[in-house]
Every structure is written in C-alpha cells, then in structure tokens.
Structure 1
Amino acid sequence: MGVMSETVSVCCTACGRRHRYTAPSYPCACGEPVSPRLDPRRAATAVTHRTWDEEWIGLRCAACGARSRWPRPELGCPCGTVLCVPVDPEATGRSGRTPGSRVPAHRAVPIRTARDAVTAAVLYLRGLGHRDVRRSDQRPVAGIGLAAPGLVVQVDPTVGPASARDVECLWLTAMAESATPVYFSLAGYAEQARARADLLGVPLFLLDPAGVPRPVNAPAVALDATAG
C-alpha cells in the first residue's frame, strides 16, 4: 500500500499562529498514492525567495519503488506568510533536473504586463509540443483565454488568487469542447481552487516573475512530464 498522508502542527514564523497541515498525496504511475514523510521535529521556515531547484522533492513509492519529483510541501498562513513544511531528509531525494526544466530558460520572458503572461504561457505550451496556440473565441470569467488543438487554456494575470469558480468554469468550457483544461495564474490559487482542480483533474501552473510556469498540482506535473 502507498504511504498514508500524515498531519503535523505548523507554527507561522511571522505571527505565531499554529496550523494543522496534512501532507498531500500524489498518484504514482503504478496507481498507488505517494505522500512526503513530514518531520515534526523541525520548525517550518518562511519562503522569502524561490529557487527552482529547491521547489521539488523526490518521493519513492512504497509499492513499486519508483521515484518521482513533486512540489515541496508548503502552507499559506492568513497573515500572508508562505511556510515551507519540513520533510524527513531520509525519505526524499534531489535532482538537478526538475519538472518544468525541459523548457529552455531562454524561451521564458520576464512578466511585467498581462501580455507578457500570455506570451510566457504560449512559449511553455509550444515547449510541450502545442504549436498552434491562439486566442480563444470564448472569453473566460477572469483573465485571457487561449486555445490549441485538444487544449482550452486560461491565463489569469490578475493580482488575486484564482477561485474555485474560475477553475470550474474553465473545466466546463473544456468539457464542452472535449479538450484538456490548463490554468496559468500570476497570483496563485485559493485553497478551494486547488482542491477543486485536483478533483476535476485540471492542471494548475503558477507563473513566476521570470516567466517560467511552475506546476502546483499533480495534473500539472503530469502534463509537464510530456515535454520533449
């Protein structure tokens, strides 16, 4: 059987508020769930800057032994601080090449405007092999709509996190067109939006200021793995 998700107490380094954090589970290729082993003895640390190689941890499936790369555990405190939840170092591994690194760095564009966000998403999709990316005929509830054969894409350059309704509307549009929905956001996603995306299988990507899309859920990691 796969590793069961565990829950630990996490203290915010900024405001001192305590939270109960449950480790996420990710699907191994064999079908078993895989979860990071949290380290309750170590304190959480605030994320003050992001380094691409530090965003991922290696997890080994207890059922088949396969090792895959998944996003490191993080918790957002209501005070605005993002906390990195410590993981047992003996249960993880690192790799110099991480999901998303298949897209050459020179193809990313720094994001200063909404147009830059769209360009970053288009370049990334082309890196996945989707050459015919265009503006969608349908306008999404928030952000800018793109389309490619088999894909319905939403690029959200707004300053607020995407909501569960935003994710649901994109999913419904994609289902009507028998396509795969993909969401890119500059400001991230509300907790309910992530939960709904995981339930519906919607890949979620966070656009960092350098213009590199970062997968933030398992469907996005799986899509990223299709890059050539």
Structure 2
Amino acid sequence: MESVPVRCPVCRRDHAYITPVYPCPCGAPTAPRLLRGAPAERITHRTWNDDWVAVRCTVCGRRDQWPYPELCCPCGTVLRIPVRPLAASAPPPPGPSHIPLPRTAAHPRPAFRPMTIRTARDAVAAAALYLSWLGYREVVQARERPASRIDIRATGLISQVDTATTPTVVRDVECLWLNALNASVAGVLFSLAGYAPDARQRADGLGLPLFVMDLTGTPQPVNGPADELISTGA
C-alpha cells in the first residue's frame, strides 16, 4: 500500500494517507497511484463523474473506474488526494484468467465489509450496513424518502444520509436531532460532502454522531459522539 503525506488546507493538520486497495476481477490487488508532492483538494461540491478515477491492473492490464481517493480530516474537511494520470493503454500480459470477485474496499476493521457507492441509494444502503455492523437491530431503509428525511430506522435509532454535493448544513443537524428527540431514540447523521463548520459545532453541542462517507462506502467519524459510538456500539 502506498502512503503519502497530506496537509489539510483548513486546519493545517498533517496526515499520512494510505490509499485503499481494491480487488480486480482477476483477483489482483489494485489501487490508484498517488501523486506525491501535490496538495490535496478540498471538496466543497461533488459531481458523480469527478468522484471516480481510472485505474489499470498491473497484473492483467484491465482498466476500471474506482472511487477517487479521499480523506476526512478531524476538522470536518473532506479532501481529494491527487493521483497520477493513467498512462496510455498497454496490452495485457498473456494468460491471465478473469475470476469475478465482489468489489469491496479494504478496511482497517476486518469485521466491517463496506459496499461501493455509485448512486444515492447505494449511500443509504452503505449507511444501513454500517449501522448493522455497529450492532443496531432491525435496520430498515425507507423505499422513498419521506418528508421527515429519515432514510433509515432501527431499534432505538433513526438516521439521515445526506447525498447532496454540498456540505451538510446546521438545519439538517437540528431537524434530525428534533425528530430523534420526539421519537425518544438516538440519531446518527451521514454525509457524502462533509459538514459546514456551524453544523459540526451544533452536532457537538447536541451530542449527535456525525459520519462522512467516501465512495468506498466506509464511514469515518468526524466528531466526539461518533468516536464514542464506534467504541461502544449500539
């Protein structure tokens, strides 16, 4: 696995980013090649096309689209990690046999198996999978998003998954917290584009766990309540 130093342009915190590895259908581990020395880009607006990068397997030569490498800084900023452009096509090595394998991203906690996010519905499914991994029971996804914007319900829990291309705002935090309070359950918020600073501050004050998800489907905690939830589980 390749590692590069990354500095957050907002809080100036330094990170050591290790690129995730994905299984090619031939079975070989595959990962985007990181561009050393290039500054990370802050993500303030998402487009589905920009969230994918072409990667070629070094074993069989197959070219696929994989989620663009991203890092969530503890300050709440979501960063896109620069990658090297893909070189011109080369003929695949002779003789490799392709064995279809599920496209799941590697994760430092082996017990959790994330799912790749390609659509907004995938994001909700990935969040539901993560909540089940945390120990919540009877996790159910809404077939169509209700007016309350509650995407997932479980025993003792409601959750919202913000798939917008801009950071989650404070209003979403307060609405989820009020809905959870009225139902006497806990609330958890997931976002694809991170959180506005006042939204994160408000969530900290309310004790509402915030997670950000990249397109590998791996939620990352961005505040203290989320860290505590991971430690204790449901």
Q: Tell me if structure 2 keeps the 8 A contact 1:140–1:154.
A: no
Deviation of residue 156 (structure 1)? 1.0
Shift of 1:223: 0.4
Q: For 1:47-66, what aligned pairs fall within 5 Å after superposition?
A: 47=40, 49-50=69-70
Structure 2 Cα separation of the partners of residues 185 and 154 of structure 1: 8
Matched, 1:182 2:188: yes
Shift of 1:46: 3.9
The equivalent position to 1:216 in structure 2, one of 201, 208, 222, is 222
Larger Rg: 2
List gaps (5 residues or longer) in structure 1: 1-9, 13-18, 24-44, 56-70, 84-99
Q: Distance in 1 between matches of 2:130 and 2:40?
A: 25
In structure 1, the partner of 2:111 is 104
* TM-score normalised according to structure 2 size: 0.55
Residue by residue over 1:47-89, the C-alpha shift from the partner in whole angstroms, topping out at 9 and shown as x without a partner, is 35546xxx7xxxxxxxxxxxxxxx655768xxxx789xxxxxx
Give the equivalent residue in structure 2 for 1:193.
Answer: 199
In the alignment, structure 1 residue 165 sits paired with structure 2 residue 171: yes
Going from structure 1 to structure 2, the CA distance change for 1:163 and 1:140 (only over 3 Å counts) comes to farther
Q: What is the alpha-carbon distance in structure 1 between the residues aligned to residue 136 and residue 76 of structure 2?
A: 31
Rate the CA distance shift 1:178–1:227 in 2: closer, same or farther, 3 A: closer
Q: Which amino acid aligns with 1:209?
A: L
* Aligned amino acid, residue 162 of structure 1: T
1:139 aligns with 2:139: no
Aligned twin of 2:32: none
8 A Cα contact 2:211 2:219, kept in partner: yes
Could you tell me whether the CA contact under 8 Å between 2:165 and 2:192 is conserved in 1? yes
Computed over aligned residues only, the root mean square deviation of the Cα atoms, in angstroms, reads 3.4
Query: Which of 150, 155, 158 is equivalent to 2:156?
Result: 150
SS in 2 for 1:225: helix
- Identical aligned residues as a percent: 44
SS of alignment partner, residue 176 of structure 1: helix
What's the secondary structure of 2:232's corresponding residue? coil
How far has the Cα of 1:127 moved from its partner?
0.5
- Where does structure 2 lack aligned partners over 5 or more consecutive residues? 1-6, 14-37, 42-68, 82-106
1:122 maps to what in 2? Answer: 128
Distance change >3 Å, CA 192–CA 103, structure 1 → 2: farther
